[in-house]
Structure 1
Amino acid sequence: MNGRVPYGIVALVGVFAFIWLIPVVGIVVTSIRPPSEITLGWWRLDEVSFTLSAWIRVWEEYPLANAFWFTALLAGIATISTMLLTPAAAYAFHFLKFPFRRLLLVLIINAFVLPQQVVIIPLFQLWRDLGLIDNIAAVLIPYVGLSFAWSIFLVKNFLEDFPKELIEAARIDGCGAISSLLHVVLPNARSPIFAVGILQFLWTWNALLLPMLFLRSNVPLPVLLTKVAGTYESNWDLRSVAAIVTTIVPLLVFMIFQRQFAAGSQTRSGAKE
């Protein structure tokens, strides 16, 4: 086929992309049309008019800006902390020898099967006793801690194929464990680190359960989105505005990090910096 993609595959992908875009278009249209026109469906064209009243109302009646910056703070700190701690932990479990190494690794990885809901009551009691309810640490600690199960597993799997000769050469040159990690492993492991960053950011940005239980004064966007929904009225236009604001940043961050992820996947050359 001379490297050409069959037209049938292109058409099939186009159909799936069109189906995927329908809800996105619906949310955008709902946010800029009056409620009276979208009651029977946003796709109806009986009467078509556009307004920004829903956007103005959401920004005036709800602390959307504060929730936006607070969500960015939570996701940023959790993502950076995970990207810094995960490579060090994966390096230690893979290259270093210390007591109970395999047992600790098994315990951490087995957290995969531990549902988040199981730790809610013990965490709530612990944070209440420590006075951490309505404290940012009450959600940051679980964000980072619960992510170790999959993030360490992901990076350690990458290190399984990492050439140990580079580590041995670094040790001959006088590098210790920390120097080998900083100058040999990290420059060649950007691909899984960026993958961890993308997944962690998306998870923490969209997290709802922990912030809803542990935070009171400052709440992130997903929690605020639940408050926008009216009790006795649907408020579909207001919900659409809040949904757009909530999802636009993860989409942009994914696109930016994906480029760096693709570039990082080509740096596995075994070079020492």
Structure 2
Amino acid sequence: MIGRTPRWIPVLVWGVSLLWAIPILGMFITSIRPPAEVIAGWWNVEKLTLTLNAWTTVWYKYPLAQGLLVSAKLAGLATLGTMLLTPAAAYAFQFLRFPFRRTILVIIVNAFVLPQQVIIIPLFQLWRSVGLIDNMISVLIPYVGLSFAWSIFLVKNFLEDFPKELIEAARVDGCGALSTFFRVVLPNSLSSVFALGILQFLFCWNSLLLPLLFLRTKAPLPVVFSNIVGTHDLNYDLQAVAAIVTTAVPLIIFIIFQKQFAAGSTARSGSKE
């Protein structure tokens, strides 16, 4: 018999949730108040003026619509590419036998410790020589390539607990490596794939360094809003608007992927199609 949950646990969860909600509330209030009032603290209501000037300024002064479209393309394509390629690679490393399998896996996993700054100069020289500067491909390839280090590791760890009896049964039924992957392994590992998609989308959406260096005319939101931070002007309201717009889309995507993640978890029935 399962015991009742102690009362202090819901209280603790609600307390932590409120602590996390306070900065979000402050960011929203800052976006609808003049900077002169925010200097004294967004919680100060001695003089309260509500205005949407910051929202209209960001919309008309900065290429917000174009930045949203570019960010959606970059994050969406990079996430899709990672979700398509990573499960197959993890399946190969886990269940197939080929020369230098462990060596290649060690090299890929060791890319965990490789920061983006190390590859910036070689990548810039390569993209410039082949004419890919200011092309979305120059950002998409590093997005997908750099994600293999942790994404393959994540899905492979999930597949370590995958029932080997299903693999053997598929082989007895005459399934080859590709058929076993698409009909047995992939449908029963959707939860790890969708978890991978959530992490990859968040990484690509918030990435600033690569788009800032490789893109010129079409910049994503992080690059667009990096120009909002003023050196001398106290434009806290504009920065708050930028933070809200930048975080709104990942939050919506997370909610959508979370539903799919739950569906993928319940779909792990351990059966063949």
CA contact (8 A) 2:67 2:220 kept: yes
Q: C-alpha distance in 1, partners of 2:117/2:21? A: 32
Q: 1:162 to 1:228 in 2, by over 3 A?
A: same
Q: C-alpha distance in 1, partners of 2:234/2:226? A: 12
CA contact (8 A) 2:35 2:234 kept: no
- Where structure 2 has 5 or more consecutive residues not aligned to the other structure, the ranges are none
The CA deviation string for residues 118-176 of structure 1, in whole angstroms up to 9 with x for no partner, is 11111111111111111101110010000001100111111111122212221222221
Counterpart residue number, 1:220? 220
Q: How far 1:26 moved relative to its partner?
A: 0.7
Q: C-alpha distance in 2, partners of 1:82/1:107? A: 18
Counterpart residue number, 1:233? 233
Q: C-alpha distance in 2, partners of 1:235/1:115? A: 32
Q: How far 1:12 moved relative to its partner?
A: 2.0
CA contact (8 A) 2:33 2:51 kept: yes
The one-letter amino acid paired with 1:117 is Q
Counterpart residue number, 2:184? 184
Counterpart residue number, 1:78? 78
Counterpart residue number, 1:259? 259
Q: CA RMSD in A?
A: 1.3
Q: How far 1:232 moved relative to its partner?
A: 1.9
Counterpart residue number, 1:11? 11
1:1-273 to 2 correspondences below 5 Å:
3-273=3-273
Q: C-alpha distance in 2, partners of 1:266/1:107? A: 34
CA contact (8 A) 2:127 2:133 kept: yes
CA contact (8 A) 2:31 2:240 kept: yes
Q: How far 1:2 moved relative to its partner?
A: 5.9
The one-letter amino acid paired with 2:217 is S
Query: Number of aligned pairs?
Result: 273
SS at match of 2:227: helix
* Deviates further, 10-19 or 125-134: 10-19
Question: Identity over the aligned pairs, expressed in percent?
Answer: 66
* Deviates further, 26-35 or 71-80: 26-35
Q: TM-score, normalising length from structure 1?
A: 0.96
Q: How far 1:6 moved relative to its partner?
A: 2.0
Q: C-alpha distance in 1, partners of 2:212/2:3? A: 51
Q: C-alpha distance in 2, partners of 1:247/1:128? A: 32
- Where structure 1 has 5 or more consecutive residues not aligned to the other structure, the ranges are none
Q: C-alpha distance in 2, partners of 1:266/1:10? A: 26
Q: TM-score, normalising length from structure 2?
A: 0.96
Q: How far 1:9 moved relative to its partner?
A: 2.1
The CA deviation string for residues 78-126 of structure 1, in whole angstroms up to 9 with x for no partner, is 0000000000101111111111111111100111111121111111111
Q: C-alpha distance in 2, partners of 1:4/1:219? A: 52
Q: How far 1:60 moved relative to its partner?
A: 0.5
Q: C-alpha distance in 1, partners of 2:171/2:114? A: 38
Q: How far 1:263 moved relative to its partner?
A: 2.4
The one-letter amino acid paired with 2:171 is R
Q: C-alpha distance in 2, partners of 1:116/1:161? A: 32
SS at match of 2:16: helix
Q: C-alpha distance in 2, partners of 1:76/1:263? A: 21
The one-letter amino acid paired with 2:265 is S
The one-letter amino acid paired with 1:9 is I
